[in-house]
Amino acid sequence: DAGITQSPRYKITETGRQVTLMCHQTWSHSYMFWYRQDLGHGLRLIYYSAAADITDKGEVPDGYVVSRSKTENFPLTLESATRSQTSVYFCASSTSGKETQYFGPGTRLLVL
């Protein structure tokens, strides 16, 4: 089906482990974004990408790594997970950085 998907939808991991969250979109949107959502903080931008092989930091990039080798995929990696990274992670895409963002269903991550 067309759209934007995220996997896994739920993940439990332990402190210090590496975790990769996947995001895939079928619209060929240029821009892709990763947000984390925590109560009281709304959505905070982690990283974004304007095109393949172009990525840039958002508001809270520390502890995260991204890559964009293909337009349709934008994986987010937590190199050494910490408890403070327990959150709900949303991926989004848009045709440009100023247009409507289309969000995925989210990944709920628990770091023990």
Partner 1 sequence: TQLLEQSPQFLSIQEGENLTVYCNSSSVFSSLQWYRQEPGEGPVLLVTVVTGGEVKKLKRLTFQFGDARKDSSLHITAAQPGDTGLYLCEGTSYGKLTFGQGTILTVHP
Using CB under 8 A, list all residues that contact partner 1: 33, 35, 40-45, 90, 92, 97-98, 100-106
Whether residue 73 contacts residue 24, with contact meaning beta carbons closer than 8 Å, is answered with yes
| Residue 85 vs 101, nearer CB to partner 1 | 101
| Residue 74 vs 90, nearer CB to partner 1 | 90
Q: From the CB of 80, what's the least distance to partner 1, in Å? A: 27
Q: From the CB of 94, what's the least distance to partner 1, in Å? A: 9
Q: From the CB of 9, what's the least distance to partner 1, in Å? A: 9
- Burial state string for 21-54 with b = 16 or more CB within 10 A and e = fewer than 16: bebbbeeebbbbbbbbeeeeeebebbbbbeebee
| Residue 27 vs 102, nearer CB to partner 1 | 102
User: What Rg value do the Cα atoms of the chain yield, rounded?
Assistant: 13
**DSSP character for 84?**
G
